[in-house]
Structures are given as C-alpha cells and as structure tokens.
Amino acid sequence: MKKTVMIFAAALAMATGAFAAGPVKIGIASEPYPPFASPDAAGNWVGWEVDIIGAVCKAAALDCKITPVAWEGIIPSLTGGQIDAIMASMSITAEREKVIDFSDKYYNTPTVIVATKGEGIQPTPEGLKGKTIGVQVSTIHEAYAKAHFPDSTLKTYQTTDEGFQDLAAGRIDASQADSIAIDAFMATDAGKACCEVVGKVADDPAILGAGVGVGLRKGDPLKETFNAAIKKIREDGTYDEITKKYFSSSIY
C-alpha cells in the first residue's frame, strides 16, 4: 500500500511539473540595454525587463535563471538548448518566426531617429540621403535601415550605446533605435548637447514586427505558460506597477 501511494505521488508530481529538470534559463543580451537590462555596480542585472522576467516567472510558478548571452548568438543558444527562452527586447518578426516561436507581446514601442542638432535631418529616405546612420548589429533596426535608407551609409555597432557615443562625438549623423533607448540617451548631458529626436520612421510591420515577445523553441509548450503569465501580470496590476518605476507612460 505504501509503495502504491509513493508511485501515485511521484506520478502526480511529474504531471504537475514538480520534477522539472533544473531552472528555466532565460536568455538576456549580455550587452547592456538600459533601462531594460544592465548590470549594476555589484554585477547584478537590473532594469524593467529584468523585473518583468521575475514577475512572469513568479506568475507561472517557474524557477528561472537569468542567463546573459551575446546578442548575435542568442537565437542559436535557444535552438541549441543552452537557454530555454529569450527575454531580451526581441521583436516578433516573420523572419524570426521561421526559426523560433514567440509568446504574445509584452511590450511595443516605436522606432525613432535621433540626429545631430540643426542639420535639418528628417526620418525619411530623402532626409537621410548621404548621411551616416548608426544601428545595433543583427537587429530590426539594421534590417530596416538597409531596406529603407539605400542612399545612406550604414554603420553597425555591438550595442546601441556605442552608436550613441559616436553620434555625440560627431562621427555619424544619426542613430535609429527603439524610442525608449533614445529617450534614455536624450536624458544624458551628451544627448542634450549634441542631438535632437527627429521623429518616428515609417511603419513596416514585416521588418519592425508586432512588438516584443518571449522567444521559444518551435513547439515548446512553455509558450502557453508564458502567454498565461503575461496575461496574469497585465490583469492583476503587476505589469503597470513595474512600468511606473521606469517610464512615465505605458509601453504596452
């Protein structure tokens, strides 16, 4: 009788996920991307997206481990099994969906151009003709600039911040990035001194995607787990509570 009870208990535990093999490894980009994710003075990762990871994992009753991975290798790390999910401000695009699955979006912000002050630059192909634009490598911004600004010179960087540094130093004319990243740059003394936000780029859903989601391996049942957790923190106020700590308005 005791043996039967133990077998039943073990089967129930396995069915409810209690015997999960180790923590769920959440891949974030190892390159700092404030205010979403960056290491503090003690080396701990902090930021809006880090807090959202914690909230989502708590809502899903998952034991999660943040695992920094170089941005260019983050999808291969997922498909190769080194990580279990990507929460690194990765936009949901048709091209990426050929390789991985995505959860529902958990944020969506516009794509913006910031440029040297007083140059009359506009966020259009004509307004950027002959100009040098900085973008982070292997991002939707690089793909968009290649497709929409054929008469501009494109310069790629490992991080968005490196591009902003070159913009502030006058080595490039403009940068394209997520509006939140550009807002953070424009809040710095360097950003205020050198530059101005010249506007949003024209929408292109095929390249810019449908917001940011959790990247997952094809067919992974974790997709439904993350969808349910994202919905839960949106409905119970946790999402808005975290967002208010970092932003003055909604980024959903």
Report pLDDT digits (tens) over 78-117: 999 999 999 999 999 999 999 999 999 999 999 999 999 9
**37 and 133 housed in the same domain:** no
> Where does residue 138 fall: left (phi above 0), alpha (psi -120 to 50 degrees), or beta otherwise?
left
Print burial letters for 17-40: b (CB count within 10 Å at least 16), e (below 16): eeeeeeebbbbbbbbebbbbbbee
Residue 163 falls inside a structural domain: yes
Q: Is the pLDDT of residue 3 over 50?
A: no
**Cβ–Cβ under 8 Å, residues 48 and 247:** yes
Report pLDDT digits (tens) over 133-180: 999 999 999 999 999 999 999 999 999 999 999 999 999 999 999 998
Tell me the one-letter amino acid at 101. Answer: D
- The pTM (predicted TM-score) of the whole model is 0.75
**115 and 95 housed in the same domain:** no
**9 and 103 housed in the same domain:** yes
Q: Is the pLDDT of residue 124 over 80?
A: yes
Q: Is the pLDDT of residue 7 over 60?
A: no
Output the domain CATH number for residue 102. Answer: 3.40.190.10
Residue 251 falls inside a structural domain: no
Residue 39: predicted pLDDT: 96
**23 and 94 housed in the same domain:** yes
Residue 46 falls inside a structural domain: yes
**Dist CA 204 CA 110 (whole Å):** 11
**10 and 104 housed in the same domain:** yes
**Cβ–Cβ under 8 Å, residues 167 and 160:** no
Q: Is the pLDDT of residue 1 over 50?
A: no
Report pLDDT digits (tens) over 180-197: 899 999 999 999 999 999
Residue 252 falls inside a structural domain: no
**16 and 101 housed in the same domain:** yes
**49 and 60 housed in the same domain:** yes
**100 and 7 housed in the same domain:** yes
Across all residues in the chain, what is the average pLDDT? 91
**Dist CA 133 CA 110 (whole Å):** 17
pLDDT band with cut points at 50, 70 and 90 for residue 21:
low
DSSP 21: -
Question: Of 152 and 10, which is predicted with more confidence?
Answer: 152
Residue 165 falls inside a structural domain: yes
Q: Is the pLDDT of residue 9 over 90?
A: no
Question: How many independent structural domains does the chain possess?
Answer: 2
DSSP 38: E
**184 and 143 housed in the same domain:** yes
Residue 193 falls inside a structural domain: yes
Question: Of 16 and 119, which is predicted with more confidence?
Answer: 119
For residue 63, give the nearest of 9, 21, 27 by alpha carbon. Answer: 21
**190 and 124 housed in the same domain:** yes
**119 and 28 housed in the same domain:** no
Q: Is the pLDDT of residue 15 over 90?
A: no
Q: Is the pLDDT of residue 12 over 70?
A: no
**77 and 161 housed in the same domain:** no
Range of the domain at 174: 111-208
Residue 153: predicted pLDDT: 98
